[in-house]
Amino acid sequence: MARVFWFRRDLRLQDNVALNAAIDGAIADGDKKVCGLYAVNLKKFEALSGARQWSLHASLDSLGASMDRKLVIQHGEVPNSVSQTALAAGAKFVHATRAFDPDGIADQNAVGLELKKHDIFLQLDDSYYAVAPGTVRKPDGTPYRVYTPFFNNWFKAGWSAPVKLHKGFEWFEPIQCQGKPVPTKEAPFPIKAGEAYALRTWERFKQRALFNYDELRNRADLSGTSHLSHALAFGEIHPRTLLAELSDSDGHNVYRKEIAWREFYADVLLHNPDTTNEYYEPRFKSMRYDSGKTAEKKFEAWKTGNTGFPMVDAGMRQLLTTGWVHNRVRMIVASFLVKDLHLEWQLGAQWFEENLTDFDPASNAHGWQWTAGCGTDASPYYRIFNPIMQGYKFDPDGNFVRKFVPELAHIEGKDVHEPWLWVDGLANGYPAPIVDHSIEREESLKRLEEIKVKN
């Protein structure tokens, strides 16, 4: 009989273990037919930013093209969409990749219960990760709270080789496709997405910067990163595909560790499902954070890239104009929001969620908490990024700043990182710094001492 494959955050055909399970089942049943389904809740889609709407639209368009336009897209409540499609297909099995984040788990539980009403089984296989969250544990069975020991044991656990799409089946459409969700908001930049684009991006990165990744990855002014975070977030490429081609060299080893950070955060979120919004270290909830009109004004300056700190502003404008931010710069802007402006990390995480095309719930929440000092960092909070020195170090010629902050294009070289020192530095309307970093750094440490006394 036919099988249904429910696409989720795995919008690809190659290296898709759960899809192959559906194909194998259909062949074993003798029907050889597989319905590829994507279910979209239009209310949730409408709530996304324009960039995220168009990202999903582009990814689905690419997936549909790779399936000879036989991808079935259904609108409505996801459990109903999946069950109605399975009933139309006469399927007794729906296959999907297992999710480990709170929303993903909730969705698959709801779908499983709805299918059970119709005597249909939801079969979950594999994960979005090389090593499934929950696999790597301490000898006593508890989860790791620190990255380095997690990485060592994650590496020892290992992962399977990538798999090719199985043959001998045919796509079919048992129910009318309702079409890709139509974006209702504009995207500020063109979106490129899909499995083929992800694989091309990977090939280019291998030729361009993988060998020197350990040296180049922190330079905001250079193209030293893979730019695969969007593809990984949408599952247009599986981390197994990347890991399989890495060898034992400095650049390759550091890139492997970056992939492991993504898997570590997924593991942390699995064991602490409330930490998408709540503090991983609860004591930081009692810290003094600023609020009111002045705080709101500073937050608006941060969001729009008008804080008067060039490296921070370049990063925030990069977010708004490209839907992506260099990883080092993400840490710089996050530290500035929490430790210079004294605002809670959730405000920044929400802004990133709204605007990042590579949004990943675990990486976003715990990347923010790590920088805010309330997460899994082994030496928390005392790490306070100096936004000026970070600019000198990771944008030494000022090219990154000039690219995204045109008001400073007239300042040559590294001098762009302190434009207020020059007579004409602020002549084109760029603002003066909204805070004094040295003062706010001391204030942050003072607030930390306060919660130490409380606890």
Find out if CATH 3.40.50.620 is the number for domain 3-126.
Answer: yes
- Which pLDDT score is estimated for 380? 62
pTM, entire model: 0.96
- Which pLDDT score is estimated for 453? 79
- Which pLDDT score is estimated for 379? 66
Domain 276-454 has what CATH class?
Answer: mainly alpha
Average pLDDT for runs of 10 along the chain of length 455: 96 98 97 97 95 96 98 98 98 98 98 98 98 98 96 97 98 97 93 96 97 96 96 98 98 98 98 97 95 98 98 97 96 98 98 96 97 83 90 98 98 98 97 98 94 78
What letter represents residue 171's amino acid? W
- Which pLDDT score is estimated for 284? 94
Q: Considering the domain 129-161+195-271 in this protein, what is its CATH number?
A: 1.25.40.80
Domain boundaries along the sequence of the chain:
3-126, 129-161+195-271, 276-454
HEC assignment per residue over the chain? CCEEEEECCCCCCCCCHHHHHHHHHHHHHCCCEEEEEEEECHHHHHHCCHHHHHHHHHHHHHHHHHCCCCCEEEECCHHHHHHHHHHHHCCCEEEEECCCCHHHHHHHHHHHHHHHCCCCEEEEECCCCCCCCCCCCCCCCCCCCCHHHHHHHHHHHCCCCCCCCCCCCEECCCCCCCCCCCCCCCCCCCCCCCHHHHHHHHHHHHHHCCCCHHHHCCCCCCCCCCCCHHHHHHCCCCHHHHHCCCCCCHHHHHHHHHHHHHHHHHHHHHHCHHHHCCCCCHHHHHCCCCCCHHHHHHHHHHHHCCCCCHHHHHHHHHHHHHCCCCHHHHHHHHHHHHHHCCCCHHHHHHHHHHHCCCCCHHHHHHHHHHHHCCCCCCCCCCCCCCHHHHHHHHCCCCHHHHHHCHHHCCCCHHHHHCHHHCCCCCCCCCCCCCCCHHHHHHHHHHHHHHHHHHC
